[in-house]
Amino acid sequence: MDLDDWELSVEELDNLERDALKQIAERNASSSAATTSAASLQSTLPSAFPATYKREESSSAAPTIKPSSGEDKVSGKSSAGNSGPHDANHVKQLKEKRYVKFFLHASGNIAAKFSYDQILVEACRKIPKASWSAKERLWMFPLSSLSIAEKVLREISGSNLELENLDPLVQCAVAAASTMPDLRDHYEFIPNNIESKLMPFQREGVRFALQHGGRILLADEMGLGKTLQAIAVVSCIRESWPVLVLAPSSLRLHWASMIQQWLDIPSSEILVVLSQWGGSNKAGFKIVPSNTKKSVHLDGVFNIVSYDIVPKLQDPLMASTFKVVIADESHFLKNAQAKRTGASLPLLQKAQYVILLSGTPALSRPIELFKQLEALYPNVYKNVHEYGNRYCKGVC
């Protein structure tokens, strides 16, 4: 039997043509609108192609013929109901696996990172104070919005979401930092002779210290004026004086001179504890020997003690009421086994305001930071193993 281009015999084509013409006649009789539709269909399809069949291109050269499903390709809706490809695509989109990572940004805000997804974008817009950083391609929001952000993302209906949240230790640190009082309104108490000499980055450092309740580690590099920044911060909280300064032995008199220069305090109110003293005291500081059998009274407005003497003076230091403590070159406290570390940490943890200064807080390993962080937030950094698992990864 000979086949034409449609792979149908002459008899089959004739039968199909008769059926098509019959249906066209029936539609003509039913309504004029149907007549127009049938005429248009007959003009666009081969004369032997029935109205109830549709052509579909296949991978082979010859086409195949199959019954129409009755689906509207434009609207995506089926004649059998309201569901269609668009609804199916929406359901599929909801069920796709999504990955979102939260991390602490250098700005102090929380950053959310994920591949572009319209559903996730809409969810981020619901987070209070959230904003899009086009430069870094990150969504950013403040610490106060963290719990709401997590809730909003997890409430995406039908979503297969994997959320990498902040590490528990980081979350504890963030929570502790958020409870510190914001003292930036105290900035106005800085004496004019100090504020006018501060560089812009130093002013920012002072505001940072005040913003975080006066408990910070200032790690500017050597030569950037950490001492002046610490003095500026201390000048904002005069109501909490007297002040204790812990420093290496070689820097005790330097601190005394800087305090006298910038704060205009009488030299007699600046007490320096020295183990040996054989030089002149032209500046008139109050010098107290540490090797005396008599008890040492730290009654200066500023009291300067070296790390090596702290273990010998631990009892009078702990009995004192220093609310403000400055620890210069705080990396001296990195060794957990050292006596000076064991004696200094309780003083720092007890104080209301603690300013750690070091241009090299950790020279080689992350564990060197642990004791300094423990001094600032003892309720957060209390487990060295938890800290090691988070930050050291075998290099402690």
pLDDT in tens, 187-241: 999 999 999 999 999 999 999 999 999 999 999 999 999 999 999 999 999 999 9
Residue 83: pLDDT above 60? no
The pLDDT confidence band at residue 394, using thresholds 50, 70 and 90, is low
- Return d(Cα 108, Cα 120) in angstroms, integer: 22
Residue span(s) of the chain under CATH 3.40.50.10810 come to 179-392
**What's 98-166's CATH class?**
alpha beta
Longest dimension (CA), the chain: 127
Residue 31: pLDDT above 70? no
Instruction: Tell how strand 243-247 and strand 353-357 pair up.
Output: unpaired
The pLDDT confidence band at residue 16, using thresholds 50, 70 and 90, is low
How much is the average pLDDT of 366-386? 95
* Cis status, amide bond into 242, omega within 30 of 0: yes
Q: Which two tokens stand for residue 260?
A: 């006298």
Residues 6+ apart with CB under 8 A from 329: 247, 248, 251, 357, 358
- Return d(Cα 312, Cα 308) in angstroms, integer: 8
Higher pLDDT pick, 376 / 59: 376
pLDDT in the model for residue 248? 97
- Return d(Cα 160, Cα 91) in angstroms, integer: 12
Mean pLDDT over the full length of the chain: 82
Placement of tokens 């899009």 in the chain: 132
How much is the average pLDDT of 368-394? 92
Placement of tokens 């039968």 in the chain: 15
Nearest partner of 173 among 383, 367, 390, 379, judged by Cα: 379
- DSSP alpha helix (H) spans, the chain: 10-30, 32-44, 85-95, 118-124, 146-154, 168-178, 192-195, 200-211, 226-235, 252-263, 314-319, 339-350, 370-376, 384-387
The pLDDT confidence band at residue 94, using thresholds 50, 70 and 90, is low
DSSP state, 359?
Answer: S
- For the entire predicted model, the pTM comes to 0.71
Residue 11: pLDDT above 90? no
Residue 285: pLDDT above 90? yes
Residues 6+ apart with CB under 8 A from 107: 140
pLDDT in the model for residue 53? 36
Q: Which two tokens stand for residue 294?
A: 């008599």
Residue 61: pLDDT above 90? no
Residue 335: pLDDT above 90? yes
Give the model confidence (pLDDT) of 99-157 as tens digits: 999 999 988 899 999 999 999 999 999 999 999 999 999 999 998 899 899 999 988 87
Q: Which two tokens stand for residue 80?
A: 């059998």
pLDDT in the model for residue 63? 39
How much is the average pLDDT of 238-250? 97
Residue 181 Cα distances to 212, 215, 251, 298, 354, angstroms: 7, 10, 31, 29, 14
Residue 8: pLDDT above 90? no
- Return d(Cα 2, Cα 355) in angstroms, integer: 98
Residue span(s) of the chain under CATH 3.40.1170 come to 98-166
Q: Reduce the DSSP state of residue 100 to 3 states and report it.
A: strand
The pLDDT confidence band at residue 177, using thresholds 50, 70 and 90, is confident
The pLDDT confidence band at residue 45, using thresholds 50, 70 and 90, is very low
Residue 34: pLDDT above 70? no
Residue 343: pLDDT above 50? yes
Q: Reduce the DSSP state of residue 379 to 3 states and report it.
A: coil
pLDDT in the model for residue 15? 65
- DSSP alpha helix (H) spans, 289-352: 314-319, 339-350
Residue 309: pLDDT above 90? yes
Q: What are phi and psi of 197, to 5 degrees?
A: -95, -10
Most confident of 158-172, 197-211, 291-305: 197-211
DSSP character string of 43-77: HHS-TTS-TTEEEE--SSSS-EEEE---B-TTT--
Higher pLDDT pick, 19 / 377: 377
Residue 395 Cα distances to 358, 371, 387, angstroms: 22, 16, 12
Q: Reduce the DSSP state of residue 165 to 3 states and report it.
A: coil
Residue 308: pLDDT above 60? yes
**Pick among 3.40.50.1820, 3.40.640.10, 3.40.50.10810, 3.30.1780.10: CATH of 179-392:** 3.40.50.10810
Least confident residue range of 177-191, 242-256, 281-295, 364-378: 281-295
